[in-house]
Amino acid sequence: MKLPTGIFLVSSLVGAAVATPLAPVPYNISLVESNKLRRVLHRKALYEHAKEFQSFADSTSVRNRVAGSIGHNLTVDYIYDTLVATGYYNVEKQPFTYVFSEGNTSFSALSTKYASEYMTYSPSTGGSTLTAQLVKVANVGCDQSDYPELTGKIALISRGICQFGPYVPVASISGANGTALVAAIEAGPVQGSLLVNSTTEVRHTNNVLATTKGGDQNNIVMSGGHTDSVAAGPGINDNGSGSIGNLEIALQLTKWLVKNAVRFGFWSAEEFGLIGSRYYVENLPEAERAKVALYLNLDMIASPNFGYFVYDGDGSTFNITGPPGSGAIEHLLQDYFKEVGLPTLPSNSDGRSDYAPFMEAGIPIGAIFTGAEEVKTAEQAALWGGQVGVAFDSQYHKAGDDINNLNQGAWIQNTKAAAHVIATYARSTETIPKRSLPKRAKRDNKHAISGAYGSEPVHIA
């Protein structure tokens, strides 16, 4: 998942279970090699897992795999049971709770009903539609001084980088619509009407962790991705594609030995603010954190109108450098894609996926991604083909993110790229510098929201 940007409307009127292996560890004589591991990865196997994930969503009336739901619990059990059966891994479920929130919104102004999205953790408007004057908030609303007198009004706020919550009722509209409303407000008073219906509850869910029994347990190569969907749909690209890619690599890796231990992380509640991955990192003792040599993130690796994006670990494009070693992971991926004839572009570390907690903890990170709600440019289409002016994934966070929403060619290529990274570092991490991690303060993770909805946001407050 990558949480989109948007415009916000806010009303001012109101412990781990460890598995017992079912089979002995298959100690083969040969050390894993990238080309051999990649050779046994096939799109048919990926698709078979996807059919299972789809069936888990379809088994419920809501057709989704939201963290802690029946569809998601079936997903977690499937991953857990499949990996336990290999006997190759120490597999555990890591339980935690999080605050679940869902809802719907309606917003209108100037005799026009605007498309709007529910903002996670927003309270409701009490079953009533609130009608009041729209007021533009200066800057991005991070400081008290940004706000005019708002009592009895609806505030229009451009999405920035301020911390989320606590909330009054809030919704999100597109940046284009927000800009048009700002222009209207500057011309004269504008009335708006906002309705927010919401449900909030505490839910129980699980991460799944699978660590090879073999290999150096003091030098662990990690790869991960989230297993949950948004409420709107099955989430087969976001992020069935990434979690399935990791699962199939994990299954095929059992054919070989590893010099360095490999750990696969299957995170829950990513769609509510990277909660599962952050829970894992923040509850990992510092001595154990230091054993994690690197982390590779797979999120949305089969977008229909795909691009091949590699995280800008060395900061050469976006001037945000990852922890030392991140550049080496980036270059390994770039070199691999170049070798197989696939051009790549760098991806910004915007903190919208599960690499963020690892990055904050000083662990070298890498990531591959095929695009979300962003629109493909002519230059990008010249590199990869596809449709100009169409989103990389037009079904992103929608009901249509189902088994038909996968580009299987991009999916297998990205899975093989991830396998190349895992196999390479399972043999040697010599290009990744050793590190001693400083102590760091724990973050307040009460709600752990890290994104918004829309396109170049505005906030209604």
Residue 166, preceding peptide bond in cis (omega within 30° of 0): yes
**Contact indicator for 1, 226 with CB cutoff of 8 Å:** yes
Alpha helices in 59-112 (DSSP H): 70-84
**Rounded distance between C-alpha atoms, residue 279 and residue 365, angstroms:** 17
**Rounded distance between C-alpha atoms, residue 329 and residue 410, angstroms:** 20
What one-character DSSP code corresponds to residue 339? H
Q: Which of 248, 270, 271, 330 is catalytic?
A: 270
- Cα-based distances in Å from 291 to 25, 256, 441: 23, 22, 19
Alpha helices in 89-189 (DSSP H): 175-187
Burial of 266 (0-12, 13-18, 19+ CB in 10 A): buried
What one-character DSSP code corresponds to residue 100? E
Residue 239, preceding peptide bond in cis (omega within 30° of 0): yes
**Structure tokens belonging to residue 157:** 């706020």
Quick one: CA dihedral 143, 200, 276, 444, positive or negative?
Answer: positive
Backbone angles phi, psi at 52, to 5 degrees: -65, -45
**Rounded distance between C-alpha atoms, residue 326 and residue 364, angstroms:** 5
**Contact indicator for 452, 8 with CB cutoff of 8 Å:** yes
Clarify whether 270 is annotated catalytic: yes
**Rounded distance between C-alpha atoms, residue 40 and residue 255, angstroms:** 10
**Contact indicator for 444, 282 with CB cutoff of 8 Å:** no
Tracing tokens 């209108």 back to the chain, one arrives at 108
**Contact indicator for 347, 310 with CB cutoff of 8 Å:** yes
| Residue 144, helix vs strand vs coil | helix
Tracing tokens 């450098």 back to the chain, one arrives at 321
| Residue 292, helix vs strand vs coil | strand
Which residues are catalytic, by number? 270
